[in-house]
Amino acid sequence: MNNQLADLKEAVKSRLDAIKDPLSGKGLFTSGRISGLEVGEGGKVSFTIEAPADAPERFVPLRDRAEAEARAVRGVTSVIAVLTAHEAKPASTGGVAQVKHIIAVASAKGGVGKSTVAVNLACAFASLGMKTGLLDLDVYGPSAPTLLATGARKPEMSDGKILKPLDAHGLKTMSIGYLVEASSAMIWRGAMATSAVRQMIDEVAWGDLDVLLLDLPPGTGDVQLTLLQRVPLAGAVIVSTPQEMALADVRRGLAMFEKTHAPILGVIENMAYFETPDGARTHIFGEGGARRTAAQAGVPFLGEIPIDVKLREASDAGTPLVVSAPKHPVSKRFMEIAEAALGNVARLSKPAPTIRVV
Ligand code: ADP
Q: Where are the domains of the chain?
A: 3-85, 99-351
Ligand 1: centre distance to CA 251 (Å): 23
C-alpha to C-alpha distance for 171 and 318, rounded to whole angstroms: 13
pLDDT at 318: 97
pLDDT at 216: 94
User: Is the C-beta atom of 315 inside 6 A of ligand 1?
Assistant: yes
Ligand 1: centre distance to CA 161 (Å): 34
pLDDT at 255: 83
Which of 123, 315, 321, 328 most suits a substitution to test ligand 1, by most atoms within 8 Å of the C-beta? Answer: 315
Range 99-351: architecture per CATH: 3-Layer(aba) Sandwich (3.40)
User: Is the C-beta atom of 307 inside 6 A of ligand 1?
Assistant: yes
Task: Collapse the DSSP code of 19 into the 3-class scheme (helix H, G, I; strand E, B; otherwise coil) and give the result.
Answer: coil
* C-alpha R_g of the chain: 25
Task: Collapse the DSSP code of 112 into the 3-class scheme (helix H, G, I; strand E, B; otherwise coil) and give the result.
Answer: coil
- The backbone torsions φ and ψ at residue 72, rounded to the nearest 5 degrees and listed phi first, read -75, -10
Q: Which fold has domain 3-85?
A: GMP Synthetase; Chain A, domain 3 (3.30.300)
Q: Give the Cβ contact number of residue 113 at 10 Å.
A: 21
Amino acid at 339: E
Burial of 354 per CB tally in 10 Å (0-12, 13-18, 19+): exposed
Burial of 316 per CB tally in 10 Å (0-12, 13-18, 19+): exposed
Task: Collapse the DSSP code of 314 into the 3-class scheme (helix H, G, I; strand E, B; otherwise coil) and give the result.
Answer: helix
Burial of 183 per CB tally in 10 Å (0-12, 13-18, 19+): exposed
Answer for the pair 305, 113: CB distance below 8 angstroms, yes or no: yes
For residue 309, give the ligand 1 atom closest to its CA: 25
Q: How far is CA 89 from CA 86, 116, 158, in A?
A: 7, 32, 13
Residues with Cβ within 8 Å of 283's Cβ and at least 6 positions away in sequence, in order, are 242, 272, 273
Ligand 1: centre distance to CA 323 (Å): 17
C-alpha to C-alpha distance for 235 and 252, rounded to whole angstroms: 15
- Return the sign of the alpha-carbon dihedral for residues 268, 224, 220, 190: positive
C-alpha to C-alpha distance for 284 and 173, rounded to whole angstroms: 33
pLDDT at 89: 45
Which pTM value belongs to this model?
A: 0.73
**How many residues in total does the chain contain?**
358
For residue 143, give the ligand 1 atom closest to its CA: 7
10-residue mean pLDDT profile of the chain (358 residues): values are 86 95 88 87 89 79 93 93 67 81 92 96 96 92 93 83 94 91 62 79 93 93 80 92 75 83 92 91 82 89 96 97 97 98 86 40
In the chain, which ranges are continuous DSSP H helix?
3-17, 60-71, 114-127, 144-147, 176-179, 182-185, 190-202, 222-228, 247-259, 289-297, 309-317, 321-324, 329-348
